[in-house]
Structure 1
Amino acid sequence: MSDAPQAASLALATLHDQLDLLHRRAGSPSVRALARLTGPLLSHDTVHRVLRTRSVPSWTSLEPVVRALDGDPEQFRELWTAARDSSQTSEEQHSQPVTAHPAGPAGRQQAVRLRRDRHSFSDQLSPEERRDLRQLGVIRSFRPRELLARQGEPAGPVTLLVQGFVKLTASSPAGYETLLRLGTPGDLLLAERALTGRPAGSTVQALGPVEALLIPNERFRTFLADHPPASMALARTLSDELAAANARRTREAGTAMARVCAALVDLADSFDLSGDDTAGLLLPLGQSDIAALCGVSLRTCSRVMEQLRYEGVVGSTRSRLRILDVVRLRNLSATVW
């Protein structure tokens, strides 16, 4: 084993060893008892994952557990930072992500990570602002396919995605469903409910296990008033979402092939594909999702996807999309108008 994986393994083991020791010193309380000790912050499922899953938990999940066990947050922050940084270094040097797929004839393994130049709402906040925001809400876990919000329901909490991926969809009065976008960690969802008091404008569904910070609307409005830079970050986020929506509208005049390819490029551009011309990127989206994203019929989308599969650009099943050649997709989206 080379130095990077050894360091990552040691740092992670140290973090969990110290957490196990702290748990025993506190009398080994059950996960449900610990969840109650965190107040409304964590569910017992989240506490279980923090204690039992041998991976690097999010700090927003780990810190309340440490405090509930009467531990030293500063000590565990250092241990957590070392485990997180070592894990990222190991992934970057050896390209062995949690989700990886062979691409091209050589069957190379590609890292599937969010782009480093991507700036979510959370990315734009300072550490102090993120800490203050974290204290306003409660972390909740969602199962795959569980709804975080339903279009048209009365105003509910603002949602900050902590871990996992969601899809945002909207249905017309005639019953046609449109996939608006994917939500990724750090994204702020349904902020319009806090700003306008209107019902949810979209349905938010988990694409896998998800953790989200749920923030009451009044607390979120107060947070924005007390933190002007966060208000600017929200304005930039909403502006970016509007620009992306406008870009999708301009593509509606293109052919079905152009619209599908451009939508797939948008999805791929959310991820770091390690700079290669081709990369295997697997997303939990079926053809119905792609059709809804592009505004084409399922039959038309199936025909386009069949051609793209034949050309080796994508691979897909009923509920999974694999993007194999981003460069080819980009060229197709730009040349078939």
Structure 2
Amino acid sequence: MKDLIHYGDGVHAIDSGYGRPQLAAIHVIVQDGRAAIVDSASNASVPRILGALAALDIAPEAVDWVLLTHIHLDHAGGAGSLMCALPQARLLVHPRGLRHMIDPGKLWEATCAVYGPERAFDLYGQLVPVPAERIVPATDGLEIHVGSRMLRVFDTPGHARHHICIWDSVARAFFTGDTFGLSYRELDVDGRAFVVPTTTPTQFDPEGMHASIDRMLAMRPQAMYLTHYSRVGEVDRLGADLHRLIDTMLAVAEAARGDGVARHVEIVAGLEQIFREEAARQNWALGEEETLELLRMDLELNAQGLGVWLDSRQTGATGA
């Protein structure tokens, strides 16, 4: 299976097929003939997951867990459909996200507010609810097992309040969802990876993100497995880059004038400049304009998230 990567330590990655090649990874953890799946991407990704399980000689009945780092639909949109295909699996999700897996109506409304109904349906299809009795709340410190392998839940707010990361005791690595940023393989230079923070709407919390990054780094991980896109090493270097870029992006947002569309346009322009400079600093494999085109959707969503963060500071608003 050409889109299946074997990393060793029982960790495998599937290209979900979401958006473009090497945009979203789904990870499979295998131990003692049992398996867990980290994130599900969209409904269209389910056949790829089942094909990867077959290639790994893992029956659907041998999958014990589907682990959602958070419930944004590029990570969780296919979870309900996937659970239908995995009869023994339980779904692990942050307590704040649990109700949205049981009844995805409000989650769908929020997604449509960002993308519009037609685009949202094209990306994710029809959301399928998960029976409550098959869901386990992912509380901080919870330990679960895949065969003899222990996985531990870390509550990691910052990208969203309902975000968790999963510590793998065998690989000595985290499955980080979006908390440890985005690392696109198109930017790699001679195997050297780079990382970009994601401040998307609506629950970006910079203090929480800084704290979550430091909490993971304190475990001295050998690698991080990002949903966008898969394994990175040199985690201390990348963590330092994340801290620096988060603060730089905050400065751009705080300097933006006005409100509404005018402020948004100014934030986008500021983010573009940050990543022009970052492309030069890091000597990314793509040129400035190619980099901006690759990051175009991320820049737009990050600017939206920074705008929501600015407004929440003024109103003291909090969300679920």
TM-score (norm 2): 0.29
Give the greater-gyration-radius structure (CA).
Answer: 1
Query: More relative contact order in 1 or in 2 (CA 8 Å, sep 6+)?
Result: 1
Higher helix share: 1
TM-score (norm 1): 0.28
